[in-house]
Amino acid sequence: MSLIEIRKRSLNIETIYHEGGPAPATPLRLAAACAVVRNPYAGRYEPDLMPFMAELRSLGSLLAQELVGVLGKDNVEVYSKAAIVGVDGELEHAAVWHEAGGWAMRAVLGEPKAIVPASKAVAATGYRLMVPLHYVHACYVRSHYNSMEVGIQDAPRPREILFALVMGTGGRVHARIGGLTKEQVSVHDGQR
């Protein structure tokens, strides 16, 4: 029997044309793919979360492929992951997504080096979470520090978890605060 029971999914796409200045040649697109699943450990302590984490790889792959489908693999420059656990669960139930969601995005994007940032919370239904984003090849590319809000109005219910992956096509529109640029990335260690 599968540990993953999906109640619903969502796909949210934002297109940013400008931030008060001139319009860029290509608008920035940010997308969040979410899945709301039953929490198999709600209301009880489970010492071994590894089977759930392993099974979540398939969900991670599904969401990552959906994002690449709408943005285009070669266009993705930023990424992140998030989880919101309903109040009958615990924060560690969100932590299973670190490996499963991060692995899935790396696999579908061709193994970029930068760490996949994350955000997680235990919260009531309807909670919204700001998810940090950064450049997929080096986490110190300041122009690509950004965030996107994820959440679904009726999720997670107390015995559910909302898992999300986020990708985007570039850095902030009108980024101009200096620092390492994506063109200057040379070490290929995921840092600089």
Domain boundaries, the chain: 6-12+33-41+49-171
Strands 118-122 and 78-85: parallel
Residue keyed to tokens 């219910």: 157
- Check the CA dihedral 56-131-35-109 and report its sign: negative
The pTM for the full model equals 0.96
Nearest to 13 by CA among 84, 66, 77: 66
**pLDDT recorded at residue 190:** 79
* pLDDT at residue 189, rounded to an integer: 80
User: Helices 50-71 & 91-109, crossing angle to 10 degrees?
Assistant: 50
Rounded distance, CA 119 to CA 81, Å?
7
The CA-atom distances, in angstroms, between 113 and each of 65, 66, 122, 146 are: 19, 21, 29, 18
pLDDT per 10-residue tile (average), the chain, 192 residues: 94 95 94 98 98 97 98 98 98 97 96 95 98 96 97 98 98 93 86 82
State the pLDDT at residue 1.
72
CATH architecture of the domain with residue range 6-12+33-41+49-171:
2-Layer Sandwich (3.30)
User: What is the pLDDT at residue 68?
Assistant: 98
3-state helix, strand and coil shares in percent for the chain, rounded to the nearest 5: 25, 30, 45
Please provide the DSSP assignment of 76-101 as one string. --EEEEEEEE-TTS-HHHHHHHHHHH
132 cis-preceded (ω within 30 degrees of 0): no
CA-wise closest residue to 160 among 38, 6, 9, 4: 38
Burial of residue 152 (CB within 10 Å: 0-12, 13-18, 19+) is: buried
pLDDT of amino acid 105: 96
Q: Residue 186: its pLDDT value, please?
A: 87
